[in-house]
Amino acid sequence: MTWRKNKRVVLALTALLFANTTGSAVLPVHAVPKENKLPCNELFNDVQGTLIVKNLKTDRVYVCNPERSQQRFTPESSFKIPNALIGLEVGAVRDEYDVKRWDNVVRPFEEWNRDHTLGSAMRASAIWYYQAMARDIGVDRMKNYVDRIRYGNMDISGSSDAFWLDSSLKISAEEQVGFMEDLVEETLPFQEQTMKTVKRIMIDNDQDNYTVHGKTGTRLSDMGLGWYVGYVEHGKTDWVFAANVDSSGTSAKMVTLEALKRLSIL
């Protein structure tokens, strides 16, 4: 186990120790003023969920619902991030501009019903593109890399092109934050250019003072699980985040962005 992984275990245990009655927790390296704690009840209202926000410079971590932050759920379309990394690394796609032609199957979201590139399919969350890429990657190569990056429970025994969609693969918000930290710091077992490309196609909001890189995920079968994972570049500081809710990815994103505003990150 690496030093970084050990540090995450310590932070996770500390989260439980610092949990307060509102379901929020702060894991400070330095003392954190009380007013900086996240108003978790206000952020989530009546929706069940969890959120982790971590400052990579100070290791300060904010957690809403620390118990749920350690519970694993299917990643849904948030898996597009490792899928893109693996696809680029093994040559299943050449670059972010590699086009796959639409198969003329009409799907429920209009923006899916056209040709896509790796980058545009990330932004539109076009599942069919990433499923086709997963088939090109193949089970053996996919399993190799999922194991190497230690992504959640590492179980891809479900369908070869849908194991991340309400199937066998599961990951916790805490593990998502660890994965995002490794991506930001470029310590994952991929070429530097591969990681830079994926970080670039994750850009969700680019402003003068900050850039949000993020990916939503929604369990489309019942809209009962939503993710938003990623990081924010803010000056010389990077903040990683992961949220999941018993709702849609849009809801997880709204909770996360409001929390980032409350923390004066956005």
Question: 100 and 135 in contact (C-beta within 8 Å)?
Answer: no
Phi, psi angle pair for 82, to nearest 5°: -65, -30
**Catalytic pick among 69, 77, 247, 248:** 77
DSSP three-state, residue 100:
strand
Rounded to whole angstroms, how far apart are CA atoms 122 and 129? 9
77 flagged as catalytic? yes
Rounded to whole angstroms, how far apart are CA atoms 95 and 33? 45
208-to-148, 235, 237, 261, 266 alpha-carbon distances in Å: 36, 10, 14, 15, 11
Phi, psi angle pair for 62, to nearest 5°: -110, 135
Question: 102 and 115 in contact (C-beta within 8 Å)?
Answer: yes
Containing H/E element for 54?
A: strand 49-55
Amino acid at 218: T
Q: Provide DSSP, 145-212.
A: HHHHTT-TT----S-TTTTTSSSS--EEHHHHHHHHHHHHTT-SSS-HHHHHHHHHHTEEEE-SSEEE
Which residues are 211's β-sheet partners? 206, 233
Residues taking part in catalysis: 77
